[in-house]
Amino acid sequence: MSGIVVIKCGGSTLEQLSDDFFQSISKLKQEGKHPVLVHGGGPDINQMLEQLSIESEFVDGLRKTTSVVLDTVEMVLCGRVNKQLVKRTQEGEGLAIGLAGCDANLLMVKPVNVEKLGYVGEPIEVNADLIHTLIDQQLIPVIAPIGVDENGTHFNVNADTAAGAIAEALGANELIFVTDVDGILKDGAALATVTEEEVHQFIQNGVIYGGMIPKVRAALHSLKGSLPFVRIVNGKHAVFSAGNGLSGTKIVKQTAPTLS
Ligand SMILES: Nc1ncnc2c1ncn2[C@@H]1O[C@H](COP(=O)(O)OP(=O)(O)O)[C@@H](O)[C@H]1O
Ligand SMILES: CC(=O)N[C@@H](CCC(=O)OP(=O)(O)O)C(=O)O
């Protein structure tokens, strides 16, 4: 199936997404494209954990997830955040269906490192047929990043990683990370294009750090498949649809050779 656009909405920017953003998602549908939303919700999870006085820490950018943390993560992502995004997508005239990666084994995972991280999973397989079926029904899937392993145990998955795996499995034409910055910033300005090689350099020299690392890692992983580039855009200004050039950073395999 062609025309699939995977849009990852970061928790950092959920409150900044405009009505135009959601209307433009249903416009994509009218233009014959197939938007699939994958969302995070890190700040909402932090807030709920704090309210419940549950401690959690990040190890290598991933939330150490005990069983009580997992309960909270599921409650926030599958409940509050997922349903809020379904609501807003439908207010934008799209017909959305909210689900989590554990539903119908959509996102199969294996543990990353049980001792170090607890219930944190990394994707190993995606039930692409299920998403295709939903798309065939003219629905817009809105997916929370809770994975499931072969024993039926649920796992917390970084939302960028989940989006990359879903885009790859669907053979998506576009993967767009919507976040709270204008793209990959260097010396205070967003870079229009960044190559794979530069991404490695920027991680090494600290230009890229923290929450940007799983995004660029997922982007690099996806570039190994059929995607020509991956975008990182600011949720404050993002709107999709034909003729509406998205700003932000494009991550590409390599720059086009310059003509001499
Ligand atoms: N080079 C960089 N350019 C832009 N943002 C960066 C860079 N390096 C690290 N970051 C951080 O990455 C953050 C986005 O990641 P994150 O907070 O996880 O957002 P999201 O919830 O959208 O996934 C930015 O707000 C910024 O603090
Ligand atoms: C394993 C892990 O770290 N999972 C993330 C899932 C949410 C997420 O990734 O949200 P953002 O996109 O807003 O960062 C977490 O618990 O915060």
The ligand placed nearest to the CA atom of residue 40 is 2
pLDDT at 244: 60
Predicted confidence (pLDDT) at residue 242 exceeds the cutoff of 80: no
Closest CA to 106 of 78, 137, 143, 138: 143
pLDDT at 10: 97
- Report CA(123)–ligand 2 centroid distance (Å): 14
Question: What letter represents residue 74's amino acid?
Answer: E
Q: Is 42 annotated as a binding residue?
A: yes
pLDDT at 256: 62
Rounded Cα distance, 225 and 24, in Å = 26
**The Cα angle at residue 164 between residues 159 and 11, in degrees rounded to 5:** 25
Q: Please, which pLDDT band fits residue 240 given cuts at 50, 70 and 90? A: confident
Q: DSSP characters for 62-129?
A: EE-B-HHHHHHHHIIIIIIIHHHHHHHHHHTT--EEEEETTGGG-EEEEES-HHHHBSBEEEEEE-HH
pLDDT at 225: 83
Are 58 and 156 in contact by the 8 Å Cβ rule? The answer is: no
pTM above 0.90, yes or no: yes
Beta strands 189-190 and 154-156, pairing class: unpaired
Q: Name the architecture of domain 4-252.
A: 3-Layer(aba) Sandwich (3.40)
Average pLDDT, the chain: 94
Tokens at residue 83, please? 């349903």
Are 153 and 119 in contact by the 8 Å Cβ rule? The answer is: yes
Rounded Cα distance, 85 and 171, in Å = 24
Compare 119 and 241 and report the one with higher pLDDT: 119
pLDDT one-digit tens code per residue, 20-30: 999 999 999 99
List the residue whose alpha carbon is closest to atom 15 of ligand 1.
211
List the residue whose alpha carbon is closest to atom 5 of ligand 2.
158
Q: What percent of the chain stands above pLDDT 90?
A: 89
ipTM rounded to 2 decimals: 0.98
pLDDT at 248: 94
Predicted confidence (pLDDT) at residue 51 exceeds the cutoff of 90: yes
For residues 219, 110, 76, 137, the Cα torsion angle rounded to the nearest 10 degrees is 70
pLDDT at 110: 98
Predicted confidence (pLDDT) at residue 6 exceeds the cutoff of 80: yes
| Residue 179 CB less than 6 A away from ligand 1 | yes
Rounded Cα distance, 238 and 56, in Å = 32
pLDDT one-digit tens code per residue, 67-83: 999 999 999 999 999 99
Rounded Cα distance, 135 and 147, in Å = 21
Length of the chain: 260
pLDDT at 1: 84
Question: What letter represents residue 219's amino acid?
Answer: A
Non-local CB neighbours of 155 within 8 Å, separated by 6+ positions: 65, 70, 109, 111, 119, 120, 121, 146, 147, 148, 149
Rounded Cα distance, 162 and 82, in Å = 15
Question: What letter represents residue 120's amino acid?
Answer: V
User: What are the domain boundaries of the chain?
Assistant: 4-252
Question: What letter represents residue 206's amino acid?
Answer: G
- Report CA(89)–ligand 2 centroid distance (Å): 21
